[in-house]
Amino acid sequence: MFINGQWAIPEKKNTFTVLNPATGETIATVPDGGEKETRLAVTAAHDALDTWAAATAYRRSDFLYRAHTLMMDNLEHLAQTMTLEQGKPIKAARNEVKYGADFLLWFAEEAKRVYGRTIPSARSDQRFMVLKQPVGVVGAITPWNYPVSMITRKVAPALAAGCTIVLKPAEATPLCAIEVFKLLEKAGLPAGVANLVTARDPNPVGEVFLTDERVRKLTFTGSTQVGKMLAREAAAQMKRVSLELGGHAPFIVCKDADPVHAAKGLSLLKFLNTGQACISPNRIFVHESMKEPFLKELSSRVFKMKAGPGSEAGVSIGPLVNDTAVEKVDNQVKDAVAKGAKLVTGGFRLMENGLDKGHFYAPTILDNVTPEMLIYREETFGPVAPVISYQDEKELLTMANDTRYGLAAYVYSQNLSKAMLLFEGLNFGIIGINDINPTSAAAPFGGMKESGLGREGAIEGIEEYLETKLGGFSLK
C-alpha cells in the first residue's frame, strides 16, 4: 500500500497472496488493507487536494510526462509482472503497458487544455464566465483483466484535472498496481496525491469510498452488478460516478463483407486476453451466404492457437482468471450445446501438458447459436465464439440491439452507406467498422445502457474529473 507518500510495511497477519493463474503457484504476498487504511488514504488525498489543485497545469503535466517516460523505460518489467500475475501472453502484456503509458502522455497534454469560456449576457452590465475545477478526492476501483491500463486511464485524467486519488486495484492483480505506483513515486508526485490500497476484500474499501463525504467522485471498471450497487449507494451523498461495466458486443458480418477479412479480425479480437475483455464479441451475426467461408477461415485460425503460460513462446491463449471463470464458460457452452448449438471446435477445459494446474479453456467455436441460449444474453468473458446466422439484413439492428448492454459493436461491410446506417443505429458506445481495435487514449471509451456511465480517454476523459462553475458578474 502507498499512503501519503509512504509504502506500508505489512504486519504478517494482514496480508494476502497473489497466484499465478497459469500454474496456481503463489507468487507474492501483499498488504491487505481495510477500512482503517482506506480512511488514512482518503485523509491523505484530502489533505493534498488544495495544493495539488492549485499547482499550475504545467506542473501537473510535467509530472505526467515523467510518469510516461518512466513507464516506457520500465515496459519490460511491467509486462513480465503482468504475464506472471494476470496470465496474458507477454506480447499482449507489452502492448497493454504501451496502451497504459499512452494515457499518461495524453493527459499530460490535456492537463494544459482545461479551458473555461465566456458567454455573452442579454444584459449589457453583466458578464458570464465558466470555470472548470477539479471534482475533489476520487475513489477508483479497477479490474484484473487490464491491470495496468485501467489504472492509468483513471489516475492520469484525475491528476491532470487537479484531483487527488485513492486506488483500489483488483484482488487478483495488486502487483501490477504496486509497480505502477512505484513509477508514480519515482516521478516525484507529492505525498498524498495518489494513494494505493491493496485489499483481499473489496467491501470495506468500497464502503469508505461510498460513505466518506470527502470522496466526491467514484470511478469504477468492473461488473455491471457491482457497478449498479456502487451507483445506487453513491447517490446517498450524490457523488459523481463514472462506470465502465460489462458488455455483450455484436460482431456483424454483412452479406457484402469480405468473409476472410472478417474471420481474421474476429480470431484476433475474440481471443485477445482469452476473451476476458468487456469489448469482446459475444454474438457473431454472420449472413448465411458468408457462413461457410467465414467459419472455414475462423476454424483454421483457431486450430493453430496454442494455449499455455503467457511467458511461453508462441502462446496466444493464456489462462482464465480463476476456476469460477472456467466453470462459467463451460456452463455456457454446455447449455448452448444442449439447446442445439453445434460445437465446431473446443468446448472443454484443457488439462494436458501441465495445464491442469492453471485455469485453461480450449478456444471454442459454437455454430447455430440462438436467443434461447445463455451465451446469447450473458457476458462470457472467455475464449468462446458464438456464431449466429441470419438471412434478412433488415432485422440486423433489432437483433444486435437486443441486449441490456451497450459497450462495443463491430460491423464488417464493404458498403459505405450500409455501414454508416449501422453505425448510427447501433446502441453502443464504441463501434468498429471493418476495424477490430477502435480504442486509443485519444478516443472516448464507454458504454450505453447497462454498460455504464461516462467516458474514459479523449477530451471526454478529463471532463469526468471536472466541475463546471458559472460566474455571473454584474458591472453595476
Grid coordinates belonging to 229: 450497487
Residue 204: helix, strand or coil by DSSP? helix
Least separation in angstroms between residue 34's CB and ligand ADP is 12
Least separation in angstroms between residue 143's CB and ligand ADP is 4
Q: Which amino acid is at 394?
A: K
Asked if residue 64 lies in contact with residue 162, where contact means CB atoms within 8 angstroms, the answer is no
Least separation in angstroms between residue 168's CB and ligand ADP is 6
453 binds ligand ADP (CB under 6 A): no
Alpha carbons 414 and 325: distance in angstroms, whole number: 37
Length of the chain in residues, anyone?
Answer: 476
Grid coordinates belonging to 410: 463491430
| Candidate list 37, 85, 110, 244, residue with the active-site label | 244
Alpha carbons 20 and 322: distance in angstroms, whole number: 10
Residues 6+ apart with CB under 8 A from 291: 367, 387, 389
Least separation in angstroms between residue 223's CB and ligand ADP is 3
- Has 244 been annotated as catalytic? yes
Least separation in angstroms between residue 381's CB and ligand ADP is 7
Total number of residues that touch ligand ADP (CB under 6 A): 11
444 binds ligand ADP (CB under 6 A): no
Q: Show the site string, 207-226: x = touches ligand ADP by CB under 6 A, - = not.
A: ---------------xx--x
Selected from 5, 116, 190, 202, the binder of ligand ADP by CB under 6 A is 202
Question: What are the phi and psi torsion angles at 472 (to 5°)?
Answer: -110, 115
Question: What are the phi and psi torsion angles at 441 (to 5°)?
Answer: -60, -25
56 binds ligand ADP (CB under 6 A): no
Least separation in angstroms between residue 198's CB and ligand ADP is 10
The residue among 72 and 226 lying less far from ligand ADP, judged by its C-beta, is 226
Selected from 33, 89, 143, 265, the binder of ligand ADP by CB under 6 A is 143
Alpha carbons 88 and 317: distance in angstroms, whole number: 8
365 binds ligand ADP (CB under 6 A): no
Alpha carbons 352 and 439: distance in angstroms, whole number: 36
Cα 242 to Cα 56, 132, 264, 447, distances in angstroms = 25, 18, 34, 11
- Has 254 been annotated as catalytic? no
Q: Which stretch binds ligand ADP (CB under 6 A): 7-15, 30-38, 137-145, 266-274?
A: 137-145
171 binds ligand ADP (CB under 6 A): yes
C-alpha R_g of the chain = 23
Residue 124: helix, strand or coil by DSSP? coil
CB atoms within 10 A of CB 278: 28
Alpha carbons 189 and 199: distance in angstroms, whole number: 23
Q: Which stretch binds ligand ADP (CB under 6 A): 123-131, 135-143, 420-428, 466-474?
A: 135-143
Site for ligand ADP in 225-284 (CB under 6 A): 226
Q: Show the site string, 86-115: x = touches ligand ADP by CB under 6 A, - = not.
A: ------------------------------
Cα 413 to Cα 259, 356, 407, 420, distances in angstroms = 9, 41, 20, 10
15 binds ligand ADP (CB under 6 A): no
Selected from 206, 259, 318, 319, the binder of ligand ADP by CB under 6 A is 206
| Candidate list 278, 450, 456, 464, residue with the active-site label | 278
Q: Interface with ligand ADP by CB under 6 A: which residues?
A: 141-143, 170-171, 202-203, 206, 222-223, 226
Instruction: Please give the positions annotated as active site.
Output: 244, 278
